[in-house]
Amino acid sequence: MTANLIDGKKIAAETRKNLQIEVNQLVEAGVKPGLAVILVGDNQASRTYVTNKQKSCKAIGIESILIELPDYVTENELLNQIEELNNRDDIHGILVQLPLPKHISETKVIETISSEKDVDGFHPVNIGKMMTGQDTFFPCTPFGILEMLKYEGISISGKHAVIVGRSNIVGKPMGQLLLNENATVTYCHSKTKDLASYTREADILVAAIGKAKMITSEYVKEGATVIDVGMNRDENGKLCGDVDFADVSDQAGFITPVPGGVGPMTITMLLYNTVKSAKNKINHRNLK
């Protein structure tokens, strides 16, 4: 059996087209959605992602500003910068690119971003809303994965979803979003014993481990949906995921590639959240 490919680039392009229509409507109503991106230090990968976010905003008419700070910036200086953006009427979304230098507390930074502008969906208020099934900003990577599953018509309710990885930005919220859709969710991680005994039971397997090509066909049930969140380099320096794509393709029912799977949807959902925030603002204004 050869798995169906879930084409993240294609789904992202379609979603962005629809978002562009919404941006045009917002602009006509007098609100141009605005995103502020803060980049601290000079991590090359982070810079690439941030550049991509800027370009993607521009392509659909979202105003985006980039604030670059040196890696020696103090925590207080960064927090003050965020406060300033919290108070700006033209900025609807704020994100601080992660990871941050060691001397800065990610928790403090995330908690300083106004929960109403937290388009990454990392603020504890938004995490709490997500956990209690309320509408809010959802973290972009798991949100993008959910959208891909829905786009492909893959049913979630009653299915067994196994998440490998428990990071705050991918694994934990992924499980919660799938639980909200009535999946039965199992979390696995680096301390899980006999990992394959869990993953082989998965109808939906999400790999967010950080180890190149670790998930081979022995980890996968025939016909399962396999979502690859990994971004690694293989022995030849080529970008690859956590899933051994060639091997698992023969076993899975659906599979995402790397690159061109989850990544493009991550940035798309950031655009979605920014548009949502601008719409929230109009709704507030109309209620006044």
Ligand X SMILES: Nc1nc2c(c(=O)[nH]1)N[C@@H](CN(C=O)c1ccc(C(=O)N[C@@H](CCC(=O)O)C(=O)O)cc1)CN2
Q: How far apart are CA 136 and CA 13, in angstroms?
A: 23
> In whole angstroms, how close is the CB of 241 to ligand X at the nearest point?
8
**C-beta closer to Mg ion: residue 108 or 189:** 189
Which range of residues in 3-11, 101-109, 160-168, 264-272 is near Mg ion by CB under 5 A? Answer: 160-168
Q: How far apart are CA 134 and CA 127, in angstroms?
A: 10
Q: Which of 100, 204, 258, 271 binds ligand X (CB under 6 A)?
A: 258
Query: Which of 81, 117, 118, 120 is flagged as catalytic?
Result: 120
173 touching Mg ion, by CB under 5 A: no
67 touching ligand X, by CB under 6 A: no
Residue 128: how many other CB atoms lie within 10 Å: 12
Closest to 94 measured CA to CA, from 126, 72, 70, 71 = 126
142 touching Mg ion, by CB under 5 A: no
**C-beta closer to ligand X: residue 128 or 259:** 259
158 annotated as belonging to a binding site for a ligand: no
To the nearest 10°, report the CA torsion of 234, 238, 240, 246.
Answer: -80
56 touching ligand X, by CB under 6 A: no
47 annotated as belonging to a binding site for a ligand: no
Number of residues that bind ligand X (CB under 6 A): 18
Q: Which of 144, 165, 173, 175 binds Mg ion (CB under 5 A)?
A: 165
165 annotated as belonging to a binding site for a ligand: yes
Q: Which of 105, 260, 279, 281 binds ligand X (CB under 6 A)?
A: 260
Q: Which of 264, 268, 272, 277 binds ligand X (CB under 6 A)?
A: 264
Is-catalytic flag, 53?
yes
SS in 3 state form for the chain? Answer: CCCEECCHHHHHHHHHHHHHHHHHHHHHCCCCCEEEEEEECCCHHHHHHHHHHHHHHHHHCCEEEEEEECCCCCHHHHHHHHHHHHCCCCCCEEEECCCCCCCCCHHHHHHHCCCCCCCCCCCHHHHHHHHCCCCCCCCHHHHHHHHHHHHCCCCCCCCEEEEECCCCCCHHHHHHHHHHCCCEEEEECCCCCCHHHHHCCCCEEEECCCCCCCECHHHCCCCCEEEECCCEECCCCCEECCECHHHHHCCCCEECCCCCCHHHHHHHHHHHHHHHHHHHHHHHHHHC
Site string for ligand X, 83-112 (x = CB under 6 A): ------------xxxx--------------
Site string for ligand X, 113-152 (x = CB under 6 A): -------x-------------------xx-----------
> In whole angstroms, how close is the CB of 44 to ligand X at the nearest point?
10
Q: Which of 189, 200, 279, 281 binds Mg ion (CB under 5 A)?
A: 189
Q: How far apart are CA 176 and CA 23, in angstroms?
A: 29
Binding partner at 189 among Mg ion, ligand X, none, C-beta below 5 to 8 Å by kind: Mg ion
Is-catalytic flag, 120?
yes
Binding partner at 199 among Mg ion, ligand X, none, C-beta below 5 to 8 Å by kind: none
Is-catalytic flag, 9?
no
What are the catalytic residues?
A: 53, 97, 120
What does the binding site for Mg ion look like in residue numbers (CB under 5 A)?
Answer: 165, 189-190
Binding residues for NADP(+): 165-167
